[in-house]
Structure 1
Amino acid sequence: MDSTEKKLIQRFKNGDAGAYEHIFKKYYASLCLFAMKHLKTKDLAEEVVQELFCKLWEKRDTLEPRESLKSYLYGAVRLNCLRLIRSETLHAKHHELIKKEMSDEVWPEEEKSNDIQARILEAVSELPEQRRRIFEMSRFDQLRQKEIAEKMNLAPKTVENQMGRALKFLRDRLKDCLPVLLLWLWYFLEK
């Protein structure tokens, strides 16, 4: 690592936004292309690189590249791509397992399936209005707690607490069909 790069890294570690911008402009495009080779999609590649630059800024005071900044950044992108690929692979395996579990082995008759779904929806409808809306936005609309908090003008902690209470109520209310309830909720999360 040459002295110019050492100075740039030191400025960056000290919180110099100009140094950060210089690093970003110098490496962003090439890191995205590198990530695309692993991930095969531009959007995922950009997401991985953007996340790296965010974390890099957040933890700038701990940055200690052993060789060069370039090799450090490329190594970090490669590692994050591999983690994402592993995560996507596990997600796909879980999705297939859920599909299998929700087959005839779990619900051998359509009537039984409809009965259980009706019981779950009935239990959801028994939740207090705000808690029910939070639960539905989370599980059916697939919104994150932060998004729900913004839409409902609530504190994120309130949304988190209400979700916890909703799930506890449903577990208690539907304990005789808890395994099916868990699969049903997971199924809606996967859609």
Structure 2
Amino acid sequence: MHIYQTFSDTDLLSLFKSGDLKAYEEIYKRYWPLLFISSNKILQDEDDAKDVIQEVFISLFNKGASIEIQFSLSVYLYSAVRYRVLDKIRHGHTKDNYLLSLYDYSEASTVATDGKLLEKEFIIQIEKAVAVLPEKMRKIFEMSRNQHLSHAEIARELGISDKTVKKQIGNALKIIRNTINPVLVTALLMEMHSKIPIK
């Protein structure tokens, strides 16, 4: 075991601020997998999630000795990831898969407790948006969403190409995203992300 693996976060941060790059490398190795899981849980896209984590660590490296952490290194890093994830979604620089992640979260949360008005409202808005999709698009989306069929399975059943299925689902998600109240989406994302435990 490398000696840096035995150091606490506080010790590693102190060493990094004094210019020790091996301490930075250990912070990177220690937190990259955990932060990736947190980011990908929301974005549902590995490339976008990796971009977020890379941006966070580049920012950490650039701040170097000037970095000021109020609570702990883990809180700082998870907060930085949360901010960048939400910023990515607000500005549309990501795929729409996070909507499905939010829908799963809302359904589970609504079943668990009856007082989750935020989640219930989100589900209502999703269902209204799906109901007015063009018939073919709605059918493909519901086969994917409700029957949990793969693109290939849907393509075979409907006699169309995988590419057409993927495009129809992508278009459906864009329509749904543009229909739902963005304030509601942001609020639900923040609630969902706040419940991801900080290691």
Q: TM-score range by the shorter chain?
A: 0.3 to 0.5
Q: Tell me the TM-score normalized by structure 2.
A: 0.42
Q: Relative contact order (C-alpha < 8 Å, sep 6+): which is higher? A: 2
Give 1 or 2 for the bigger CA radius of gyration.
1
